[in-house]
Chain A
């Protein structure tokens, strides 16, 4: 099942299971979303459950907060990463803080779905990775699946969570297929996963970069290097225990994400792992990611995005210590 279809099936399951679950956003109804992630849901659940909204991102999130206060569990779609900023105020100043401000009396089980990241040749504001901006805000949980199975189960868990969850969907992986065991019992939403074991170095990534890191590990294996690959899955909270355990085995760590490196999630991982594993490390924690520049026009995005060579270059540098 394709990753996008897995999310669709997960939303369908949630809509069937709980009449309080709503799907809201621009074009999510008749069109099924610009990526067809919500395809067919309005047809089956009606426009009172799968709601086409006005073109107003702050309005989408702000009304979702009100609906959650009334007992609903809205899953809202922000059409593209760069369009979330009109809603950023509602997410940061309201959605994230209302539980604390009410001393726990109010719960806001709102899921904000954001297709994110580049690699699809889009115009500006359609390829960004703003996850660190959300992970920095207490009160929000931030996750990003890398494969169809996780996309399915993490959506189930995000909807069931009583906390607001920012659910970043790797849009360039929407069409990647994978097995989804819909009757399985998933692991915890925020636990990282070792997707490939290795002994020489750990590659840590999430969302669209997990597949790249697996490819890098394949390439490195041909050169006799054994790389471990972690799928972090969750950016807030971040499962440092799994990263630490891996680094204590491999003694080297490279973090890979599409977002700009400066003050990004890789910086946090590098700092914490250095603190936790200082005497285990054979090399500084290195980061591979975007530059401190606006996301470039499509003809340049291959230069901007981490690719196989940049990841392998960082691996070589770490191994050279």
Chain B
């Protein structure tokens, strides 16, 4: 993508202040259709309008259109930039290890984030400690930013639990499998923050497919009506398993917000700097009592939906190749190198750290014990339940009968 192509776009055109003037449907759908038509070739000049601060070549973009977001990264230090790079590299390494572990039979399933590192690290690093995050099931990078030990994410995929971490430990809610449900939980939580008079904010993650769900639409409605401090962060990775975004919407997803009365912004989801800036802007709006924002991070799922999926059945290799050229990690590396913000020693040290993380993930996963049999009955209810008690006792007696038989040499 060139600087010029971005400079012709107006990323805040959909902002609340201008939402009163409804654009024509044909005009709204235009960029999206154009992008689709050239998906295979992915011509840079036909990218839909989006906020971009860093080109795929690693050059900083500064123009009038993205000026509103520049202040949110203007003071960023070389150290912080290296931190974003480190986050993305380690998250990708963790993800690769998890994929490999699934292939080795150590995990039952894995949902890879490959390609979405910038969207997750940029937005995740924009959150404050007292903010609350409601993820779907692919937000491994956001979990990393929130300080959740990545090995905790693997328990549910290995089948030893259905969660694996204390949501309140890092203000990072459990993964949610039912698509879009968490958008409402995030909205309710945000309503609670507003009632408490706190100045924290909430960020809800979901994908392009989830944007079709009623719960997401209802979350938009509730958050707008109650002016809830919530940021909806939609990672449009182009594919909802096998269905392209055209099967979800006739208009670019960020434009959905307009109909609910709050701003929507499309950001280059492979540009960590832009994701950081736009999310900081949206979270600040929320904290200032200006209500919800929809951020559409325009990105690409480089791998399969999950390890059970086969993307070769529904998309072409050249599409992936085109997105590889926009790799989020590579572009920041180019920028770091060109600006002399990182030297060879930094990259070598990070490589060692990455190796160590991979080794730890492998060891922890393989050492994860199966849960106790009676765990089936644990925490079904907070206050207890007679039927659960009865069935637990029956099950325990049944299990014990095997031990008794073994002791008797049967």
Residues of A within 8 A of B (CB): 48, 53-54, 56, 58-59, 61-72, 86, 89-90, 93-94, 97-107, 138-139, 141, 161-163, 190, 236-240
Contact = CB atoms under 8 A, between A and B. Distances in A.
B374 interface: no
Nearest to B228: A63
B188 A67 contact: yes
B196 A56 contact: no
A100 B186 CA distance: 19
What band does the interface of chain B fall in when counting residues whose beta carbon is under 8 Å from A? Answer: 35 or more
Interface string B76-91: 0000000000000000
A63 B181 contact: no
B386 A237 contact: yes
B187 interface: yes
B330 interface: no
Contact of A103 (B192, B215, B379): B379
Given A54-B222, A56-B221, A93 B190 contact: no
A98 B188 contact: no
Given A59-B222, A66-B192, 14 more contacts: A54-B221, A59-B218, A61-B184, A62-B183, A62-B218, A69-B173, A90-B184, A93-B181, A99-B379, A102-B166, A102-B174, A105-B168, A138-B388, A236-B387
Which label, helix, strand, loop or mixed, suits the secondary structure of the B interface? helix
Nearest to A55: B221
Contacts of A71: 192
Contacts, number: 142
A65 B185 contact: yes
Interface in B39-65: none
A102 B163 contact: yes
A66 B167 contact: no
Interface of B: 161-164, 166-168, 173-174, 176, 178, 181, 183-193, 195-196, 214-215, 218-219, 221-222, 225, 378-383, 385-388
Given A66-B185, A89-B178, A101-B163, A56 B222 contact: yes
Q: Which of B178, B221, B379, B388 has the most CB of A within 10 A?
A: B379
Given A66-B184, A103-B378, A139-B381, A190 B386 contact: yes
Which 4 pairs between the two chains have the least Cβ-Cβ distance? Answer: A66-B188, A62-B184, A70-B192, A63-B188
Contacts of B178: 89, 93-94
Contacts of A62: 181, 183-185, 187-188, 215, 218-219
Contacts of A69: 167, 173, 185, 188-189, 192
Contacts of B386: 190, 237-240
A99 B184 contact: no
A100 B381 CA distance: 7
A66 B185 CA distance: 4
Contact of A65 (B184, B222, B382): B184
B214 A63 contact: no
A23 B218 CA distance: 19
Contact of B187 (A66, A72, A97): A66
Nearest to B162: A101
A17 B11 CA distance: 49
Nearest to B190: A66
